[in-house]
Amino acid sequence: MAEEQTKACCQRTIERMLRVIRESYVSFPVIKDVPCEECKEILAIRVYAKPE
Ligand SMILES: [Zn+2]
C-alpha cells in the first residue's frame, strides 16, 4: 500500500496542467512550478517528453 502524499486538490491541478501541456505544448521538456488552484501549494510539473 503506497502512501501518496499529494492532496486531491493538488492532484486535480496537476492533471489539468498535464492536459494543457499535452494539448498545447510542442517543446519538451516542460519544467514548471505552479501553485495549486485551491491550497496554493507549489507543485512541480515535470514533463520530459511529449506524452502519448
Ligand atoms: Zn492543493
Tens-digit pLDDT profile for residues 17-52: 999 999 999 999 999 999 999 999 999 999 999 867
Distance 3 CA to ligand 1 centre (A): 17
Distance 31 CA to ligand 1 centre (A): 19
Distance 40 CA to ligand 1 centre (A): 6
CB 29 within 8 A of CB 48: yes
17: exposed, middle or buried (Cβ count in 10 Å: 0-12, 13-18, 19+): middle
Q: Which residues contact 31 (CB under 8 A, 6 or more apart)?
A: 45, 46
pLDDT digits (tens, 9 = 90+) for 7-20: 999 999 999 999 99
Q: How far apart are CA 52 and CA 45, in angstroms?
A: 17
Residues with CB under 5 A from ligand 1 (ion): 7, 9-10, 36, 38-39
